Amino acid sequence: MTPFDATPSLIRQPSPDRGLVDGFGRRVTYLRVSVTDRCDLRCAYCMAEHMTFLPKNEVLGLDELDRVTSAFIALGVRKVRLTGGEPLVRKGLMDLVAGLSRHIRSRALDELTLTTNGTQLARHADDLARHGVRRINVSLDTLDPTRFRRLTRGGDLAQVLAGLDAAKAAGLKIKINAVALAEDNAAELPALIGWAHGQGFDMTLIETMPMGEVEADRTDQFLSLADVRAQLSAFWTLEDLPLNTGGPARYVRVAETGGRLGFITPMTHNFCEACNRVRLTCTGVLHTCLGRDDAADLRAVVRGGGDDRALTAAIRSAVAGKPLGHDFRIDRGAAPAVARHMSMTGG
């Protein structure tokens, strides 16, 4: 029995006829859960160098995270991704993974997955696989150790590569996520894609997003992926794939490498029309849109003694108000679209 198998709950199995549908008819089937705002790296585009992290009493306990996540699963969510900050620095995370894996065994959940920076993977890859995680996303913007150390403000690339080796050995399917940065990795992107495909990893490129105050002006780093795709097409054959995950990425197959490449373009191509996801922060705040300041405080329901019916009602009310889309813009000197950092929202 896992630590959460005995958690009392009126909510057990999803009822398809009572699924989560927003005001625009989009069905929400994907929940991203931030388990911590803390991270062992300080990526320059993601957070300020000297971050003030949340007091522990404001962060949901593992049992609370399990309860809220299970409520979403009961309402028809089929995919859960654990994020951070860096999720693998959260003490006891494997207990949460083990507990949530019961929903995979019961077939209430199709997939439990994780996004990580890879620094802790060598220690945890086997346990992730043992608890039913089948694939992970690893954030990696460069294969140059010096550049990696500068971009992450002190990170060790060798540690991440060792984590990738461990994850691969554990049988986890791996996708590399890289933020395209005009001043840092633009020239390296073809080599990074080629390396990832050579390792048997999928690859996704992401445009930088205006979230949270950071020291640099993001206009200096913004790189249009429309331009990147055009440049890649000059020497590679990019074959569009009819892959619709309800997510933000548009996928191609690179004929020469045989690998899959995704483009996430929040700035140059709005991907909101088919959005199927919502995000839960580690403090229990539900954001139904990455680029809006909408918020529903589920922690208040949980800690205020609300039963599962109250929690379900709060979730339904929040999802009903999910906005049609974000309004991301990167303008020189302008404030970020939302004040919260990506590490707070959940990657």
Q: Residue 50, CB half-sphere, CA atoms under 13 Å: how many?
A: 0
- Yes or no: say if 148 and 177 are a contact pair by the CB < 8 Å rule: no
Rounded mean pLDDT, 45-49: 80
Tokens of 255: 């004929």
Give the percent of the chain with pLDDT over 70.
Answer: 82
Average pLDDT over every residue of 205-217: 65
Bigger pLDDT: 84 vs 336: 84
How does pLDDT run across 269-302, given as a tens digit for each residue? 556 777 899 999 999 999 998 777 789 999 999 9
pLDDT at 268: 54
Residue 144: both structure tokens together: 């140059």
Q: Do 199 and 138 meet the contact criterion of CB atoms below 8 Å apart?
A: no
Amino acid making up residue 273: E
Q: Which two tokens stand for residue 179?
A: 């933020």
CATH assignment, 34-345 = 3.20.20.70
Q: Is the pLDDT of residue 60 over 70?
A: yes
Tell me the pLDDT tens digit for each residue of 140-190.
999 999 999 999 999 999 999 999 999 999 999 999 999 999 999 999 999
Give the mean pLDDT of the chain.
Answer: 87
In the chain, domain spans: 34-345
Angle at which helices 157-169 and 121-130 pack, to 10 degrees? Answer: 20
Which pLDDT value is given to residue 326? Answer: 58
Residues 6+ apart with CB under 8 A from 261: 193, 197, 202, 203, 204, 205, 238, 251, 252, 253, 254
Query: DSSP character for 93?
Result: H
CA–CA gap between residue 14 and residue 70 (Å, rounded): 10
